[in-house]
Structure 1
Amino acid sequence: MRVNIAFCVKNLAKGSEKVRQQLIKDPDYNVAEYGCTSFCGICSNFYVAIVNGKPIKAESPDELLDNINDYVDTELFDGM
C-alpha cells in the first residue's frame, strides 16, 4: 500500500520540512507539497501533514514524525 503524505508550504517553512526530508527517504511514501492543503485552522497552530486525506497534527516536528508513523502503522496497515 502506498501512503500519500502532503504538506502545506507554509507549514514546511514553519518547521515541518525536517519531517518531509525524513519521509521522502521511504519508498512506500508518496510525499508532496502544496501551496495550501485546506486545513488552515490547524495548519496555522500546529505542525501538520495530511496522510491519505487525514490531517495529522503535532506540537513539534519530532512529534509529527512519530504521529505520522503511528497513524500509518495502527490505522492504515492494521486495517489491511
Structure 2
Amino acid sequence: MKRIVEFCAGNTSYGTDRALRPLEEQGLCSVIEYGCLTSCGQCDQTPFALVNNEEVEAPTAKELYAAVLKRLRELETK
C-alpha cells in the first residue's frame, strides 16, 4: 500500500515542499500539496505534514524530512 504525505501550500515558506518532494521522487510515497489543510495555527508556526492523516512536525524542513521518513519506515513495519 502506497503511503501518502500531504502538506499545505501555506507551509511552503518553511521549505516544506522542497523537503518533501524527494520522498516522492524516491518512490517512497505520494506527496500531495493542498491549498489548505485547515491547520492554520500550526501551519504558521512550524514545518508540518500529514503522513497517512497523522501529523508530523519538526523545527526545520530538513528535520521534517527526517521525521516523515522515520514515520514512513514505521508504517512499513506494521
- TM-score, normalised via structure 1 length: 0.85
Structure 1 vs Structure 2: percent identity of aligned residues?
Answer: 27
Structure 1 gap segments, 5+ residues each: none
- Runs of 4+ aligned structure 1 residues displaced above 2 Å come to none
The alignment status of 1:38 with 2:38, answered yes or no, reads yes
The alignment status of 1:78 with 2:55, answered yes or no, reads no
Q: What does the per-residue CA deviation read over 1:8-66, in whole Å, with 9 as the maximum and x for residues that have no partner?
A: 00112331122123122022311110011122222211101111001110000110011
Instruction: Give the aligned residue type for 1:65.
Output: Y
Residue 14 of structure 1 aligns with which residue?
14
Cα RMSD between the aligned structures? 1.3
Residues 6, 31 of structure 1: 8 Å contact kept: yes
- TM-score, normalised via structure 2 length: 0.87
Instruction: Give the aligned residue type for 1:4.
Output: I
- Is 15-24 or 65-74 further displaced after alignment? 15-24
Kindly indicate which of the two structures has a greater share of residues assigned to strand. 1
CA distance in 1, matches of 2:28, 2:18: 18
Instruction: Give the aligned residue type for 1:68.
Output: V
The count of residues paired between Structure 1 and Structure 2 equals 78
Structure 2 gap segments, 5+ residues each: none
Residues 14, 61 of structure 2: 8 Å contact kept: no
Instruction: Give the aligned residue type for 1:70.
Output: K
